[in-house]
Structure 1
Amino acid sequence: MKKGLVILLLFFSTFSFSQIYIKGKVTSSANEPLEGASVYFNNTTIGSITNSKGEFELKISKGNYTLVVSFLGFKTKQFPINVEETPLNLTIKLQEENDILNEVVIHKTVYDEDWKYNLKRFKQAFLGRTKLASTCKILNEKDLHFNFNRKTNTLTAIAKKTLIIKHNGLGYLITYDLIDFSIQKNRLFFSGYAQYKNLRKKIKSKWKKNRLEAFNGSRMHFLRSLINKNIDKEGFLVNQFKRVPNPDRPSEQKIEISRQLIQLHKGKINFNKQIIEPKTTIDSAIIVLRKASLPKYQDYLYKRNVIYSDMISFEKNKPFLNFQDYLSIIYKNESEENNYLLGLFGKRKKASGVQTSNIILLEGKSQIDNTGILINPNAIFNEGYWAFEAFANMLPLDYQPPKD
């Protein structure tokens, strides 16, 4: 029988109001203590290594987190924890890797030109193209394995080992367990578990400056401001819009049929000729293909200055990000970086002087805790500036900007 994770919760009667202590023990399935296991809260700087008895102790503020436990030769485990003002004692059993079935088989990686090209795409998508992204270095790039599916135009990535990322711009050494990564038609999805550590005990002034700049206008900044009902004070403006199919763009079916007609045509085709009224099927196909580059959808703004009650709902006193259609989040206190204006294909956008991002709910609504942390970050999709910033501009969840 396959052995899994066992968690025993024991409650204590004394606690600190500002910080909660979480203690525990990590063992094998045979109840042997695992010394040197890594225990950390995902996307934070809070972590520990187990002692000779397999024991650990963590201190954290209340909120919702994912606890990650890993040890060489064992399968990494993770589980959500709602840290209220009650300390916890955990007993965690890890499953040996030789008991794990149906693991992904990674064939020998060939470090050829295709691999180098895919690595470049991976870094642009995962780390981003910001100024801070240029200060990030993946120290073990060759542990990345790529697969490109030509039929679906999808690039996927698998990491053979935990990625080690040195972030000289923010002053962090980050370990990242890549769970999923895919790009399909420039739509990016990735997920994983990250632990942040300061590169030095003493934080350099440039790191403090860069961290604050990364925080300002970020999704973290917005969600904290939203929960605290001070988005206006923090420099945010929220608008609401609908997204509808572009009536001027032909359907995908018409575009595909037109492409096939062009491919099957044996004669010479003048694609530059002026066509007012199509006289042949080829003329019609040319007109359709000329319109294929039009955007699939059009956005229609219908509400400005969206208020708190139109974005947040409550169930059993728990807040949820919940709204109709789409939200446009404008951060007024910073302008766009030059690389954002250039775009991926060198088509320069017009500078607006603000940073604009869109939020799309993928599951109807998304729970958010009282500290501004999304319970399920994958329940929303970002477009615009937040998508451009990517991983290199992300801060640990326990980051706090300096008080004025």
Structure 2
Amino acid sequence: MIKDLLKKYFIGIFLILFTIPSVLFAQSMLMGKVLNEQNMQPVQNASVYFNNTQVGTITNEKGQFKLYSKRLYSDLIVSAVGYEKAIININGNNSTYTVLLKEKSNELIEVTIGTGKNDWKKWGDLFFRLLLGKDHNAAYCKILNPEDVKFYYDESNHYLEISSNKPILIKHLGLDCTLHVDIDKFTYDFLKDELDYHSGIYYSNIDAKPIKKINTFLKNSYLGSKMHFFRSLYSNTLEEENFQLYRYSSIKNINKENAFRAVQLYKAKKIAAGAKGHDLLKLSDYPDSAEYYRKLLMQDDVLKWDTTRVNYREYLTFDSLNNKMIFKFSDTLMVLYKRDNNLAYNITRQHVSSGLGAISLIELKTLLCLTNQEGVIIDPAGFALPNVLLMIGNMGDRRLAHQLPYDFIYSP
């Protein structure tokens, strides 16, 4: 039952969005060339980057590239307009690569999903919230090329599909950089409130050096995040980093779930019809139904729940041969992170000044559930693989506006 609850809120952006990298310390330079697979001609201005990092470049007129980094991550992404994206697995025995890009077929180049001049007006706000979030961090972000984003709404199955033939460019004022987002898949199911999101991301123009400046924005993004959580697990410092782990059980509020699905369906139809502004705040066209839904949606998600504090080290096994930490558990777990009072005050003040209202920010809760028997593997840099961990709550709700590149260095 708990797993069903978690699946409802599974956010693909957390686990499917990236193939999380393994860090290779043996090399600091990578070079190669990018060629057209069909005629073996060089591909100029192709983007070459380690996924979700600041480490990237473009190819020259000969299709050549060089990357310099303190770490070499396992997945190198190569993309260019008009070509299918390539993901290259990097190993420590090779520093030179030839990448062959396949031209997109006419069917792929042609826009096969519905578009129209009003599509961004209909779906743009929803897409922004799904991709970046709707809190203070998202207020720092602006999508620079909305005209490249294409939408298709399936009225029968009530899901929204979003695509782009070009990278989506996002100006992130909080990090003072531009995000290049290569979307492979982006679908949102209204009834299940489920986002399935596959993408590659490159952070450009941050700084020549890894991020070290710590301010309220960076602290808010890092502390209590999944990156912070995994790094703390790997270093066996979870409790020292203000995390606590609990065994969790609950009874779902079925009436609230049914009301939520009804309201989601209503809003999906309204957006598809072009409604905006105040009309999207309504829960139903019928006042009695709207009031009924409003009362149900104000209730808790669960009718009854229980927690038991556990020793997180019981779920950890160190693989000394591969220098990995394995995080394995069978029960549903709850992670509790306690924020510093001063940081919580500063974040609350920012929320209020941005018109987002005051919210409880001291204790951040996340539920965890594994979908396999082997567990999650955490590498030395604190990143987890494979795609087997479901999350609901604070960590799972953090969207791209909260995310930091893998080569982020936290120095309190």
TM-score where L is the length of structure 2: 0.71
1:5-404 alignment, distance < 5 Å: 19-29=27-37, 30-62=39-71, 64-81=73-90, 83-84=91-92, 86-98=93-105, 105-111=112-118, 115-185=120-190, 186-199=193-206, 209-243=216-250, 300-312=305-317, 314=319, 317=322, 318-334=324-340, 335=344, 351=360, 353-364=362-373, 365-376=375-386, 378-402=387-411, 404=412
CA–CA separation in structure 1 for the residues paired with 2:194 and 2:349: 18
CA–CA separation in structure 2 for the residues paired with 1:333 and 1:149: 41
CA–CA separation in structure 1 for the residues paired with 2:196 and 2:87: 20
1:121-153 CA distance string (max 9 Å, x none): 111121012211101000011222222333333
Is the alpha carbon distance of 1:103 and 1:356 closer, same or farther for their aligned partners in structure 2, counting shifts above 3 Å?
farther
Q: Which amino acid aligns with 1:360?
A: C
CA–CA separation in structure 2 for the residues paired with 1:314 and 1:17: 18
Is the alpha carbon distance of 1:390 and 1:292 closer, same or farther for their aligned partners in structure 2, counting shifts above 3 Å?
closer
Greater RCO, 1 or 2 (C-alpha within 8 Å, sep 6+): 2
Do the aligned partners of 1:328 and 1:357 also contact (CA within 8 Å) in 2?
yes
Is the alpha carbon distance of 1:292 and 1:400 closer, same or farther for their aligned partners in structure 2, counting shifts above 3 Å?
closer
Q: CA deviation at 1:222?
A: 0.9
Do the aligned partners of 1:64 and 1:369 also contact (CA within 8 Å) in 2?
no
Query: What SS class does the counterpart of residue 97 from structure 1 fall into?
Result: coil
CA–CA separation in structure 1 for the residues paired with 2:105 and 2:148: 21
Query: What SS class does the counterpart of residue 239 from structure 2 fall into?
Result: coil
Do the aligned partners of 1:340 and 1:388 also contact (CA within 8 Å) in 2?
no
Query: What SS class does the counterpart of residue 324 from structure 1 fall into?
Result: coil
Query: What SS class does the counterpart of residue 45 from structure 2 fall into?
Result: coil
Report how many aligned residue pairs link the two structures.
351
Q: CA deviation at 1:379?
A: 3.1
Q: CA deviation at 1:251?
A: 11
CA–CA separation in structure 2 for the residues paired with 1:330 and 1:153: 34
Do the aligned partners of 2:115 and 2:151 also contact (CA within 8 Å) in 1?
no
Do the aligned partners of 1:171 and 1:207 also contact (CA within 8 Å) in 2?
no
Is the alpha carbon distance of 1:133 and 1:353 closer, same or farther for their aligned partners in structure 2, counting shifts above 3 Å?
same
- Runs of 5+ unmatched residues, structure 1: 1-15, 257-270, 273-286
Is the alpha carbon distance of 1:361 and 1:79 closer, same or farther for their aligned partners in structure 2, counting shifts above 3 Å?
farther
The farther-off stretch of 133-142 and 19-28 is 19-28
CA–CA separation in structure 2 for the residues paired with 1:401 and 1:188: 29
Do the aligned partners of 2:212 and 2:410 also contact (CA within 8 Å) in 1?
no
Is the alpha carbon distance of 1:41 and 1:151 closer, same or farther for their aligned partners in structure 2, counting shifts above 3 Å?
same
The farther-off stretch of 365-374 and 119-128 is 365-374
Do the aligned partners of 2:28 and 2:72 also contact (CA within 8 Å) in 1?
no
Q: Percent identity?
A: 26
1:317-358 CA distance string (max 9 Å, x none): 44333211322221112449669999xxx9997x37211222
Do the aligned partners of 2:335 and 2:365 also contact (CA within 8 Å) in 1?
yes
TM-score where L is the length of structure 1: 0.72
Q: CA deviation at 1:100?
A: 7.1
* Alpha-carbon RMSD: 4.1
Q: Which amino acid aligns with 1:332?
A: K
Q: Which amino acid aligns with 2:330?
A: Q
Do the aligned partners of 1:21 and 1:87 also contact (CA within 8 Å) in 2?
no
Greater C-alpha Rg = 1
CA–CA separation in structure 1 for the residues paired with 2:401 and 2:382: 20
Is the alpha carbon distance of 1:320 and 1:17 closer, same or farther for their aligned partners in structure 2, counting shifts above 3 Å?
closer
The farther-off stretch of 319-328 and 205-214 is 205-214
CA–CA separation in structure 1 for the residues paired with 2:89 and 2:145: 29
CA–CA separation in structure 2 for the residues paired with 1:298 and 1:348: 25
Q: CA deviation at 1:242?
A: 3.1
Do the aligned partners of 1:340 and 1:385 also contact (CA within 8 Å) in 2?
no
Q: CA deviation at 1:383?
A: 1.6
CA–CA separation in structure 2 for the residues paired with 1:369 and 1:70: 26
- Runs of 5+ unmatched residues, structure 2: 1-23, 263-287
Query: What SS class does the counterpart of residue 229 from structure 1 fall into?
Result: coil
Do the aligned partners of 2:210 and 2:407 also contact (CA within 8 Å) in 1?
no
1:210-244 CA distance string (max 9 Å, x none): 22331111110110111011111111111121355
The farther-off stretch of 117-126 and 152-161 is 152-161
Q: CA deviation at 1:197?
A: 1.2
The farther-off stretch of 140-149 and 95-104 is 95-104
